[in-house]
């Protein structure tokens, strides 16, 4: 009989699976606690369980995480993980420590079908959805290796894939992750998948929402984000105005600045008009250049970036200019899987 993986399952689900094997109900809760909150890697380390129960659990179940195929350290302290999955597919994720905190950038798919033209991952094409165990597994590995001394761990779904196109498995992963990480410390980034935004709005425990905006008008947004043709900007903004926000929460708008395309002062003023009335903050992200995958696209000059941020602030918006971490190892926003794909292509040529 194939072993069932307990990773990617909630405490209640683990309790239901383990319940028939234990003599007292609290034993099932102990197992769930070891898996979901203590991150146990083996049943042998569940020291408060009887040895015979640990043996039975080891026969029936597994605690399988994605394999770390490669680990690349950046000069800024961040680390890029290449995870190899059971079917041979792979994903990348990033751990970013800063001031005692640890931010983990997780992936939800093995590729991305959205196809944003400024994103290497998108240009590499669609892949499959990740299972809940594969999503939660990324968190477990990086939190264990990078976060033992972190005062706080934040999760951002800004890695490979569009999470709101993987709602079933991504939703299951969220149910597990929110048992150990507050939804207030989890951010889900979307390109604007309207059914997905409505799905997220209906959840009882909602993470924070981030929307990849990148242009203040339909025409230019279509140029760099083809998904805009299916989910027009006017409909996206209407949906975001209806999105339920808890007290003190805001929607984050991510705006990748591309030289001579969307970086003018008037573009900033147009963004401010577009966001008027929405509790929001804007992350201005200078383009992470890639001469191989993104030829011709350039990061704006520093003065232009600073001027863009000033225009938004002068319009009353909360703004952060986000200089991406891990750029030297292609671990920054929009770069994931690019170097690995190049290496595979070169290997295939020889």
105 catalytic per annotation: no
How crowded is residue 98: how many other Cβ atoms within 10 Å of its Cβ?
13
> Does residue 19 contact residue 77 with C-beta atoms inside 8 Å?
no
> Does residue 68 contact residue 300 with C-beta atoms inside 8 Å?
no
Which of 67, 98, 333, 344 is labelled catalytic? 333
> Does residue 346 contact residue 338 with C-beta atoms inside 8 Å?
no
d(C-alpha 307, C-alpha 86), whole Å:
47
Q: Which run of H or E residues covers position 190?
A: strand 186-190
Q: Which run of H or E residues covers position 270?
A: helix 265-275
User: Going edge to edge, which strands form the sheet with 67-73?
Assistant: 67-73, 79-84, 90-98, 101-105, 152-157, 186-190, 208-212, 251-257, 280-286, 318-321
92 catalytic per annotation: yes
Query: Whose CA is closest to 297, among 327, 248, 257, 240?
Result: 257
Which of 65, 92, 239, 289 is labelled catalytic? 92
CA-CA distances (angstroms) from residue 157 to 154, 266, 301?
A: 10, 30, 28
φ, ψ of residue 282 in degrees (nearest 5): -120, 125
Task: Name the residue with tokens 């083809």.
Answer: 226
d(C-alpha 318, C-alpha 252), whole Å:
10
> Does residue 338 contact residue 293 with C-beta atoms inside 8 Å?
yes
DSSP string for residues in 73-97: E-TTS-EEEEEEPTTS-EEEEEEEE
d(C-alpha 111, C-alpha 168), whole Å:
17
Active site residues: 92, 333
């Amino acid at each position: 009989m194939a072993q069932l993986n307990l990773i990617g399952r909630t405490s209640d689900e683990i309790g239901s699976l383990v319940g028939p094997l234990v003599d007292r109900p609290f034993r099932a809760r102990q197992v769930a606690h070891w898996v979901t909150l203590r991150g146990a890697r083996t049943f042998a380390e569940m020291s408060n369980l009887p040895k015979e129960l640990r043996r039975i659990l080891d026969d029936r179940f597994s605690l399988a995480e994605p394999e770390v195929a490669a680990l690349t350290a950046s000069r800024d302290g961040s680390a890029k993980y290449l995870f190899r999955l059971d079917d041979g597919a792979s994903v990348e994720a990033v751990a970013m420590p800063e001031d005692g905190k640890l931010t983990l950038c997780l992936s939800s798919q093995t590729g991305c079908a959205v196809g944003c033209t400024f994103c290497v991952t998108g240009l590499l094409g669609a892949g499959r959805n990740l299972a809940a165990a594969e999503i939660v597994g990324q968190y477990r590995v990086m939190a264990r290796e990078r976060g033992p001394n972190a005062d706080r761990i934040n999760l951002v779904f800004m890695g490979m894939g569009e999470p709101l196109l993987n709602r079933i498995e991504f939703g299951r992963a969220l149910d597990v992750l929110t048992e150990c990480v507050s939804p207030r410390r989890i951010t889900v980034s979307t390109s604007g998948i309207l059914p997905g935004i409505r799905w997220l709005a209906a959840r009882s425990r909602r993470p924070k929402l981030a929307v990849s905006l990148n242009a203040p008008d339909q025409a230019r947004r279509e140029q760099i984000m083809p998904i805009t043709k299916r989910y027009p900007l006017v409909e996206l903004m209407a949906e975001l105005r209806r999105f339920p926000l808890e007290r003190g929460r805001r929607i984050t708008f991510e705006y990748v600045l591309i030289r001579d395309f969307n970086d003018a002062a008037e573009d900033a003023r147009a963004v401010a008009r577009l966001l008027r009335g929405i509790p929001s903050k804007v992350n201005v992200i200078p383009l992470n250049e890639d001469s191989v995958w993104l030829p011709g696209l350039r990061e704006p000059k520093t003065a232009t970036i600073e001027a863009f941020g000033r225009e938004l602030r002068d319009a009353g918006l909360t703004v952060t200019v986000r200089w991406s971490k891990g750029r030297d190892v292609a671990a920054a926003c929009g770069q994931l899987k690019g170097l690995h794909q190049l290496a595979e292509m070169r290997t295939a040529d020889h």
